[in-house]
Amino acid sequence: MIVDDTVGAMLAASLRRGGDRPALRMADAIRTHRELLDHANRFANALRGSGLRPGDPVALMLTDRFESVEAYLGCLIGGFAAVHVNDRWAAREVQAVLADAGARGFVYTDGVGESVSAIDALGDIPAVIAIGEPVAAGHHLWSNFLEAARPVAPDAAGGTDPNDLTIIGYTSGTTGRPKGVVHTQRSLSRTIRHMPVHFEFRPRNRTAFTGTLSFVSGIWGVLLPTLYLGGEVSFMAGLDADEWISRMIQQSSMSTYVPTPLAGDFNEQIHRRPEVLRTLRSVLHSGSQIPPLTLRRTVELIGARMVECYGMTETGAPVTTTEPDDWSADCRADDIYASAGRPMHLADVRIIDRDGAQLPTGETGEISVSSETQFLGYLNDPALTAQTLVDGRIRTGDVGRLDDAGYLYVTDRAKDMILSGGMNVFPAEVESAMVDVPGLQEIAVFGIPHERWGETVVAVAVRTDADLDEAAVIEAARARLASYKKPTSVRFVDALPRTASLKIDKPALRRAWVDLPPEPDKH
């Protein structure tokens, strides 16, 4: 890889071509491509002036702001390794990441000031920069830090080796401490170039971005590819569906992402205002599954614009996707509304048993993938890297199957599988079967130790009907599933705990199970 083919050089060239066209939009405020490039160059040169060198890790704990995007671009243009830090993490978690990554720079927005002020080790980092109000003396103010720096590309930016680090995306760490997923010049450049194919982005695409910078996948999956195409990203996270659709109509948005909790509201708004479909070309979804009936309704409303996919931080780009023809009557999938689509041209997906042997079509096992965009390994953790990357393939820890037509169905996490009396129970299957129980808002299923059966199935639920009791939930499960899969006990809470990435925190539920009060006897 030559220097002109680095991720930073690739994005800088796109920003130069974009010129004075809008690149970022927040409500009525706009940042142009030219302005982004100017500020990103200044940031890269200011880091150099603070003694940092290409390859040095710069940690970024950022909320949704123009300057936050400029910080990522500046790291990539300057050849620094951008260390993504979820802005929802507490001080202890952030401090662990800074130490693990060996951060030489740290940028934070004032919205995370409370966590930052509780971090002990910032004095050892040469450059600490605040976007907004600094929380401590000695922290640079972003505008002052950039003011004296030159707005031109830094000399000898670095990052010329395909294996040089570009972005380290830390996982939320539900199974232990956060893990640093290392992406390189090679994997990140391939991801950015591939995503427009995957999500059907066009040159000068106008993207309604409902995600946030909390999640690194939104940066390399949506933000950077849109800028690479000379397009425009409009930040819409946190808007209700009515305002979201209104802004897409006003801005002639071409693509958006539908979070699962907003899918029903999205459908209602599309039904009311179908004029948004005049420019909307693709609607993306991934992660937690949309209830099949809701997804079917979405497809009825928007047709082949729907794009479902499967991937993870370690794969960079998704490895499976649905295609426009999949939503037609000619689709050969067993159930397209439960599927994550078929493997992409850059990926290979297999189902394996516990020993790593490939299973026949239709059998359920662990999902194993290899991809041109996959990560290099986990930072400072060769043992975990060797456990996850086996013969060049990622053992995802997810459970699923492939049907005869090659469509993937993701059914659960391998570590969440319950072995009860010699029978395998997948919590996601139980949870999916319960989505239409009247009065049941949400349910999390997991296993706890049992003296006779090894493990037994239990559930924690949120209800909208106070008359819905434990017996009714168990009976509803019995009517939908084999008897051995039903919960043997159900506890009710006001809300389910979630991780920083908004997934249900089942380890926390397991720990809290003994302290959750049982349902009082109504008889």
Kind plus residue range of the DSSP H or E element containing 246 = helix 241-251
Residue 157 dihedral angles phi and psi, to the nearest 5°? -60, -20
**Is residue 366 a part of any domain in this protein?**
no
What is the reported pTM? 0.84
By residue range, what is the domain housing residue 136?
3-185
Here the CATH number for the domain that contains residue 44 is 3.40.50.980
H-type helices in 283-426, by residue range?
Answer: 292-302, 382-388
**Of 174, 116, 157, nearest in space to 313 by CA:** 174
pLDDT digits (tens, 9 = 90+) for 55-75: 999 999 999 999 999 999 999
Distance CA 406, CA 401 (A): 9
Of 136, 168, 185, the residue at which a domain comes to its end is 185
Please state, for a pLDDT cut of 70, what percent of the chain lies above it.
95
| Per-residue pLDDT, 292 | 82
Among candidate residues 167, 185, 203, the one where a domain is terminated: 185
| In a domain? residue 242 | no
> pLDDT tens for residues 3-43?
457 999 999 999 999 999 999 999 889 999 999 999 999 99
pLDDT tens, residue by residue, 469-494: 999 999 999 888 878 889 999 999 99
Is the residue at 176 inside a domain?
yes
Could you tell me whether strands 393-402 and 29-32 are parallel, antiparallel, or unpaired per DSSP bridges?
unpaired
Higher-scoring residue by pLDDT: 256, 156: 256
Which residues partner with 289 through β-bridges? Answer: none
Single out the residue in 185, 202, 234 at which a domain terminates. 185
Residue 215 lies in a domain: no
pLDDT band at 517 (very low <50, low <70, confident <90, very high): confident
Residues 454, 421: contact at Cβ < 8 Å? yes
Residue 450 lies in a domain: yes
CATH number at residue 458: 3.30.300.30
Rounded Cα distance between 436 and 472, Å, is 13
Sheet with 454-463, side-by-side order of all strands:
440-450, 454-463, 489-492
Give 96-113 as a DSSP string.
HHHHHHT-SEEEEEGGGH
Least confident of 104-113, 174-183, 427-436, 479-488: 174-183
pLDDT digits (tens, 9 = 90+) for 400-418: 999 999 999 998 777 787 8
Q: Note whether residue 68 is domain-resident.
A: yes
138 lies in a domain? Answer: yes
Q: Is residue 373 part of a domain?
A: no
Per-residue pLDDT tens over the stretch 91-104: 888 999 999 999 99
> Which pLDDT does position 500 carry in this prediction?
64
- Domains of the chain: total: 2
